[in-house]
Amino acid sequence: MIKVAIIFHSRSGNVFKLAAAAAAAAEKAGAEPKLLKVGELPDPMVLDKEAYDSVESATADVPVATLDDLLWADAIMIGSPVHFGLPAPQILNFIDHSGPVAIPGKLVDKAVTVFASGSAAHAGQQTTILALHNAVCHWGSLIVPNGSSVEILASEHNGSPYGTCSISRHLASEVHEDNLRAIEHQTQRLVEVATAYGIGLRQTESAIKYVGLEDLARKFPHLSMD
């Protein structure tokens, strides 16, 4: 069973709503989801205190993501609010601390996908997702974008091939139904890619065992078999 870590930060509930929908979708796709929030910073910038407090109590039982969760997962979803066209600092702080597992290459070959929520259209959702893709390259993980793979992604509320985006207009938990369907598709696609890639890797391993490394090196001299 594919293990999916859904790691998010949310201060007014929009990303949390997408993340919770992703967890439900992962389960529906036959995977094992783990919904995880990143740790808060000492001095967070809070626009809407009432919404912030209500997200804090709604997520009180959600565990804080750790590096062990990254190791546990076959597939990882990262959800962030847009902050000046960038991911929230809480998400970046979590990524900054991923060195002990990322540098030795322990995140290589995991399937990773990213989603975001911003207050306005064309105001940085895609740049936020792409910024996080940079870190995924450093991890050596596989980026799984949405593309235009299903019709719902062409809805006027969706339209981002990079990953699901919601437009909240600064309202709390204001996620459109089409965004929920997009994140469901994004999750299902991630599980499919992680499953297919895992099967592919196992087949490659058994092919190497069956044929033998020296034989493969002779047949494919341009590949390093070290």
Q: Which residues bind ligand FMN (CB under 6 A)?
A: 10-16, 45, 47, 81-85, 117-120, 123-124, 168, 170
What is the CB-side half-sphere exposure of residue 122 using CA atoms within 13 A?
1
- In 3D, which of 18, 4, 71 has the Cα closest to residue 181? 18
CB of 83 to ligand FMN, least distance (A): 4
Q: Residue 179, Cβ neighbours under 10 Å: how many?
A: 25
Cβ proximity to ligand FMN, 39 vs 105, nearer residue: 39
Amino acid residing at 44 = P
Amino acid residing at 8 = F
CB of 129 to ligand FMN, least distance (A): 12
Cβ proximity to ligand FMN, 45 vs 223, nearer residue: 45
Cβ proximity to ligand FMN, 46 vs 137, nearer residue: 46
CB of 201 to ligand FMN, least distance (A): 34
Q: Residue 93, Cβ neighbours under 10 Å: how many?
A: 15
* Collapsed DSSP state (helix, strand, coil) of residue 107: coil
CB of 90 to ligand FMN, least distance (A): 10
CB of 194 to ligand FMN, least distance (A): 25
Q: Where are the alpha helices (DSSP H) in the chain?
A: 14-28, 49-58, 67-72, 89-96, 99-102, 125-139, 177-211, 213-219
Cβ proximity to ligand FMN, 162 vs 197, nearer residue: 162
Q: Report the residue number whose CB is nearest to ligand FMN.
A: 118
Cβ proximity to ligand FMN, 16 vs 197, nearer residue: 16
